[in-house]
A and B are shown apart, each in its own frame.
Chain A
Amino acid sequence: MWLRRGAPATTPEPSPEAEPHSALLLNEVHRRYSDGGATVTALAGVSLRVPRGSFLAVMGPSGSGKSTLLNCASGLDTVSSGSVRIGGTDTSALKEPRRTLFRRDRVGFVFQSYNLVPTLTAEDNITLPLRLAGRHPDRAWLRGLVERVGITDRLRHRPSELSGGQQQRVALVRALATHPEIVFADEPTGALDAQGARRILRLLADVVRDLGQTVVMVTHDPDAAAHAHTTASMTDGRIVDVHPAAATRRFTAVGGE
């Protein structure tokens, strides 16, 4: 619908710039879970700054806390202590449902399992966050995205009629549809074959480069991380190393994972 009607883009660009150069700022973030009587510390004081227009890969072995980091940074989960700022807003101080509303309007997600609503067409899936927010889609922006990821002819299809790679590309357009401050990608290539994975990673890198998007991607795949500008390595709930992506490739070539 929104692709066929040529209405002008009316979406206001969200721009409260307190931290002009940081898309994401984590300060001494702790996250503890109580599991029965025992307390499990998933994040043990993480501080991190992600500049606007950069592509960060978070790596680490299973249980190192990288998924928790993504959950806390994106506002899906609360933090036990410390603060999270996204584009100048302290999201760790937001209460429900304001945290959800903020996330909906300012944060994009790409999940390993795509998280498409099976009853909706690709087109409807893409616009769902906009509809929930009661916002009008930025048609030119969406048309550009759809063409960029190459799913123009698949918009009328349900997720079950799409390949994994196509579903993830739909999910990517959905994540970008709201002009988010930052896009979080959680193992976006985990369920894809090598070719599909490469395409998604290239698209992520493209939107960072061409559109100035900020992307934080959690992955355990060094090849995936190699597409990012920077790689942060995590162990036991802490970031132990931050280095340019090219270095990762070299290291893994020697040490593997």
Chain B
Amino acid sequence: MSLAVRLTRGRLSGLLAIAVAVLGGAAFVTVGGVLADTGLRSHPPVERMPGADAVVTAQLALPQQEGPDVALPERAGVPDTLVERLERLPEVAEAAGDVGFPAAVVTADGVESGSDPRPAGRVWTSPGLVGASGMTGEAPRDSGDVALDTETARAAGAEIGDEVRVTTAGHTSEYRLSGVVDTPAVGIFFDGATAADLAGRTDGPREATVDAIGLRAAPEVSSEALAETVRTRIEGEDGTDAVVHTGAARGDAEIPEVSVARAALVGLAGSLGGVVLLVIGFVVAGAVSVSVAAQRRDLALVRAVGATPRQIRRLVAVPTVLTALGTLPFGIAAGYPLAGRLYTMLAGLGVIPTELPVRFGALPAVATAVLLPGAVWLAAVAASWRTAGATPVDALAETVAEPRAPRPWRVRAGAALLLASTALAVPPLLVRSEAGIVGTATGSLVAVIGLALVGPTLVRAVSGALARRLPARTSPLTWLAVHNLHGHSHRVAGAVVALAMAVALTLGQCYAHTTVLVATERQHADSTLADYRVTAPEIGGVPDAVVATLRDSPEVTAAVTSTPTSVVWRYRELGVGEVILERHPARALGPGADEVLDLGVTAGDMGRLAGETVALGESFARLRGVGLGDRVTFHMGDGAEVRADVVALYEHELGHEPVVLSRDLAVGHVTGAPDTSLLVRADPADGADRPEHLIGGVADHPGVEVETVAATDRPSGGIRDVPPNVAINVVVLLALLGYVLLSVANRLAAQTLQRGTEVDTLRSLGMTPGQTRSLLRREAAMIAVGAVGAGALAAAVPLALAGIGFLGRPWPGGPGWLLPATALTVALLAWLSVELPGRRLAARATRR
């Protein structure tokens, strides 16, 4: 132990590299842990029915035998008869059905509806359930009454008894303000019959349903006991797959999207975890091996005087793990605020609803504290294996020059991985959707691992060939640099591969995304026939009246409603194996969709998209073995199983969703109003560039907005909007790259400092300090060139395939400056991390 410390002394640069690797690694793992923990255990606050001890809703996820349940983003109802049945239970003091529908109060400045207007309209249940700590006035009694929460009432500037204008489900009317309720959530309350009518529960697909049932327990009954009774009762009823929520989980019942967001967070943490752990493994192992390399001679000596291989491994592992343990708390401490920042960003991008709070538990810290030192220990044992296991004579001999030639299995495994990376990158050729691009990213990643394995052999071969072919006129320093690279192929390969990994990661991941973006933009631009988009985000959907007005307007050729939603599709991988459920984005389009959107129909007719019909993306349909005219069965976003005929197949599935539903099919299966936006195509004769007449047509509808969707405002081939998931990937990638680069810099610097003896030898042979610096600089330049070349090569094949698959040309889409910028960064880094320690070495007094 004390010997270990003493051997470590003077190896501070190596241990510093480990410390930095652990610091960053711990922060990354903690961030991933916080995201996963939030996804698994965080709940939004209970706001709609805080007084309820238990809340019953329809299932929020489709259960799945293999793998996690599939979260359902749309609200499904439960039969309102269940309310009465539950109320009859002795454990239940009060039961009431909650119904939410789009509503907003019209004020002088516009409309007021809180963060989400889609469920802002509500049925008045009871102060006990709504959790009103205070209420002035009275509950709404008839169809002319409305009650508001305190904040909305204040924003509307209305007093009890005043008339307030309220937009509900597309209609704007005057209501008398009967009461003001002090409740946490935004609420525009109506009496039971009015609310049921406005929410479309009197007829249609949602007839006689409520969104949720709030239950208050009878005295002396705990909420757990209540939930248990209700669960038994529900399971007894046929055909009801309702779920009971208690405690913090009641929050999930209020916002269906939350369950999707939580699944997304876990998925994000998982997919991040894969790449991050891989990179951390590389970086930590690299740092440890540098540190061990520095100690190799000492270790060999200790081995020669009788230490067992086991003792040697411990000599290496103990200080390394101690360093890791010392740094770990700081990394973890940094991880929490970083996770907070990332979470805020995710919420800002709309990936997760703002209602879901981030959860800072102890679990991520514990997981990090277990995972990382374990990884460091493994890396230390692996790095010292050879020195520890060799006979003392060999151990001493190896210290003279580098370890022997790389083992042959490395080359074979590396070559196999490089081949595999090409195979992995094939999907874009077959699947022209975002699923295909995963292959590109994975392919480049696998290629990097392959590169790491063949690295030493490759460096040896290339530098050897270079050394033999150098022309006689070559400067002696370049000549010496090449020989140094050749002679230290192991050490050099470590640096080259680490930098190449940064290059391949950057190019592979960024260009994979941008290629899809460019292809998406292209398709989008090609397929947009509409001139205007009408939306009404503040009132929860485009009013029917606006749709009718515009459709009948003589200046309008076509007006088609468009609503984003989701579907859950059964999928059997490769036609065999387990059936898995997958959620896919979908879009519900009104009749006449082919007038505003050119989806690139390859078979069938979009004009037939009405009733129980769908149109599918070509590769989506092919992968699922579905053809034109087939009758398909799938789940809507609220979990309901539907059947529909496939009336068309289209090829623009990148720029659009892979599934297009007829509006008739989607009605009743989406939260809020059925129409999120209206795509309008103007009559060319009347001039397509005149939005005024549209605004004139919708001016008397508060909260309705019109925007131009001219295809010309999209720069061809450029990228206009970066979608949130890409933005996140880029942010995480940049952070990861920073980490990799910092670690590589550290490692290079440590390696350079370890070359003191070598520099001294050269200096004693008459090399000037300037020549010494120049020699190191040349080596750094060659390392940088090798790294950029290898990294670009590793990413080249997957990216070329992606380019062919998505853009029909063998190079990816995206900014061209990325490659030179990456090369420049890598070169600068290599130079700095060799130049600074090199200066110190060169300036040192000549000793022998």
Chain A positions within 8 Å of B, measured between CB atoms, are: 71, 76-77, 96-97, 100-101, 103-105, 107, 109, 111, 113, 115-120, 124, 128-129, 131-134, 158-160, 174, 186
Determine the residue in chain B with the shortest Cβ distance to A97: B768
Q: How far is the CB of B432 from chain A (nearest CB, A)?
A: 51
Interface pair B848/A129, CB less than 8 Å apart: no
Interface pair A77/B768, CB less than 8 Å apart: no
Asked if B67 lies at the interface with its beta carbon under 8 angstroms from chain A, I say no
- Contact partners of A131 in chain B: CB under 8 A: 476, 479-480
* A111-B400 CB under 8 A given contacts A77-B846, A96-B769, A132-B771: no
- Contact partners of A111 in chain B: CB under 8 A: 764, 848
Bound: A96/B769 CA distance, A:
8
Determine the residue in chain B with the shortest Cβ distance to A70: B848
- Contact partners of B847 in chain A: CB under 8 A: 76
- Contact partners of A100 in chain B: CB under 8 A: 763, 766-769, 846
Bound: A133/B487 CA distance, A:
23
Bound: A134/B767 CA distance, A:
12
* A160-B765 CB under 8 A given contacts A111-B848, A115-B848, A128-B480: no
- Contact partners of A129 in chain B: CB under 8 A: 765-766
Determine the residue in chain B with the shortest Cβ distance to A119: B487
- Contact partners of B486 in chain A: CB under 8 A: 119
- Contact partners of A116 in chain B: CB under 8 A: 761
Interface pair A117/B761, CB less than 8 Å apart: yes
Bound: A132/B478 CA distance, A:
11
Asked if B762 lies at the interface with its beta carbon under 8 angstroms from chain A, I say yes
Interface pair B401/A160, CB less than 8 Å apart: yes
Given A115-B764, A132-B767, 11 further pairs, Cβ under 8 A: A101-B768, A103-B766, A104-B765, A111-B764, A111-B848, A117-B483, A117-B761, A120-B483, A129-B766, A158-B401, A186-B848
**B 677-710 binary contact with A (CB < 8 Å = 1; else 0):** 0000000000000000000000000000000000
Interface of B is mostly: helix
- Contact partners of B484 in chain A: CB under 8 A: 119
Chain B positions within 8 Å of A, measured between CB atoms, are: 397, 400-401, 476-477, 479-480, 483-484, 486-488, 758, 761-771, 845-848
Q: How far is the CB of B39 from chain A (nearest CB, A)?
A: 52
- Contact partners of B758 in chain A: CB under 8 A: 117
Q: How far is the CB of A24 from chain B (nearest CB, A)?
A: 17
- Contact partners of A96 in chain B: CB under 8 A: 768-769
Q: In this complex, which of B758, B765, B848 has the most chain A Cβ atoms within 10 angstroms of its Cβ?
A: B765
Interface pair A124/B476, CB less than 8 Å apart: no
Contact of A133 among B766, B770, B848 (CB under 8 A): B766
Can you name 24 A-B pairs with beta carbons within 8 Å? A76-B846, A77-B845, A97-B768, A100-B767, A101-B768, A104-B765, A104-B766, A104-B767, A105-B766, A111-B848, A115-B761, A115-B765, A115-B848, A117-B758, A118-B401, A119-B483, A120-B480, A124-B483, A128-B480, A129-B766, A131-B476, A132-B765, A158-B487, A159-B401
* A119-B488 CB under 8 A given contacts A96-B769, A104-B765, A186-B848: yes
- Contact partners of B477 in chain A: CB under 8 A: 132
Bound: A65/B67 CA distance, A:
77
Contact of A97 among B476, B479, B769 (CB under 8 A): B769
The 7 closest A-B pairs by CB, nearest first: A119-B487, A104-B766, A131-B476, A97-B768, A118-B401, A100-B768, A115-B761
Bound: A113/B768 CA distance, A:
21
Q: In this complex, which of B477, B480, B845, B847 has the most chain A Cβ atoms within 10 angstroms of its Cβ?
A: B480
Q: How far is the CB of B463 from chain A (nearest CB, A)?
A: 10
Bound: A101/B771 CA distance, A:
11
- Contact partners of B765 in chain A: CB under 8 A: 104, 109, 115, 128-129, 132, 174
Bound: A104/B846 CA distance, A:
13
- Contact partners of A186 in chain B: CB under 8 A: 848
- Contact partners of B488 in chain A: CB under 8 A: 119
Q: How far is the CB of B392 from chain A (nearest CB, A)?
A: 17
Q: How far is the CB of B492 from chain A (nearest CB, A)?
A: 11
Determine the residue in chain B with the shortest Cβ distance to A105: B766
Q: How far is the CB of B593 from chain A (nearest CB, A)?
A: 70
- Contact partners of B769 in chain A: CB under 8 A: 96-97, 100
Determine the residue in chain B with the shortest Cβ distance to A101: B768
Determine the residue in chain A with the shortest Cβ distance to B485: A119
Bound: A192/B847 CA distance, A:
21
* A132-B761 CB under 8 A given contacts A76-B848, A124-B483: no
Determine the residue in chain B with the shortest Cβ distance to A134: B476
Q: In this complex, which of A96, A105, A186 has the most chain B Cβ atoms within 10 angstroms of its Cβ?
A: A96
Q: How far is the CB of B603 from chain A (nearest CB, A)?
A: 66
Determine the residue in chain B with the shortest Cβ distance to A109: B764
Bound: A159/B397 CA distance, A:
11
- Contact partners of A132 in chain B: CB under 8 A: 476-477, 765-767, 771
Determine the residue in chain B with the shortest Cβ distance to A67: B848
Determine the residue in chain B with the shortest Cβ distance to A115: B761
Determine the residue in chain A with the shortest Cβ distance to B486: A119
Q: In this complex, which of A71, A105, A132 has the most chain B Cβ atoms within 10 angstroms of its Cβ?
A: A132
Bound: A131/B763 CA distance, A:
14
Contact of A160 among B397, B770, B846, B848 (CB under 8 A): B397
Bound: A14/B845 CA distance, A:
27
Determine the residue in chain B with the shortest Cβ distance to A178: B766
- Contact partners of A101 in chain B: CB under 8 A: 766, 768
Bound: A103/B771 CA distance, A:
14
Q: How far is the CB of B395 from chain A (nearest CB, A)?
A: 14
Q: In this complex, which of B401, B487, B762, B846 has the most chain A Cβ atoms within 10 angstroms of its Cβ?
A: B846
Bound: A73/B483 CA distance, A:
32
Determine the residue in chain A with the shortest Cβ distance to B771: A132
Bound: A118/B765 CA distance, A:
14
Q: How far is the CB of A132 from chain B (nearest CB, A)?
A: 5
Q: How far is the CB of B371 from chain A (nearest CB, A)?
A: 39
Q: In this complex, which of A77, A118, A174 has the most chain B Cβ atoms within 10 angstroms of its Cβ?
A: A118
Bound: A189/B845 CA distance, A:
25
- Contact partners of A174 in chain B: CB under 8 A: 765
Bound: A104/B762 CA distance, A:
11
Determine the residue in chain A with the shortest Cβ distance to B763: A100
Interface pair B401/A119, CB less than 8 Å apart: yes
Interface pair B487/A118, CB less than 8 Å apart: yes
Q: How far is the CB of A7 from chain B (nearest CB, A)?
A: 12
Determine the residue in chain B with the shortest Cβ distance to A104: B766
Bound: A158/B769 CA distance, A:
26
- Contact partners of A118 in chain B: CB under 8 A: 400-401, 487
Q: In this complex, which of B397, B766, B847, B848 has the most chain A Cβ atoms within 10 angstroms of its Cβ?
A: B766
Bound: A115/B766 CA distance, A:
12
Bound: A160/B766 CA distance, A:
22
Q: In this complex, which of A77, A100, A103, A111 has the most chain B Cβ atoms within 10 angstroms of its Cβ?
A: A100
- Contact partners of B771 in chain A: CB under 8 A: 132
* A76-B487 CB under 8 A given contacts A115-B848, A118-B400, A158-B401: no
Bound: A101/B763 CA distance, A:
10
Bound: A109/B762 CA distance, A:
12
Determine the residue in chain B with the shortest Cβ distance to A117: B761
Q: How far is the CB of A186 from chain B (nearest CB, A)?
A: 7
Determine the residue in chain A with the shortest Cβ distance to B760: A115
Bound: A132/B767 CA distance, A:
7
Bound: A96/B483 CA distance, A:
27
Bound: A118/B490 CA distance, A:
14
- Contact partners of A103 in chain B: CB under 8 A: 766
Determine the residue in chain A with the shortest Cβ distance to B765: A129
Q: How far is the CB of B469 from chain A (nearest CB, A)?
A: 14
Bound: A124/B484 CA distance, A:
12
- Contact partners of A77 in chain B: CB under 8 A: 845-846
- Contact partners of A160 in chain B: CB under 8 A: 397, 400-401
Bound: A124/B486 CA distance, A:
14
Interface pair B766/A120, CB less than 8 Å apart: no
Interface pair A159/B767, CB less than 8 Å apart: no
Bound: A106/B632 CA distance, A:
91
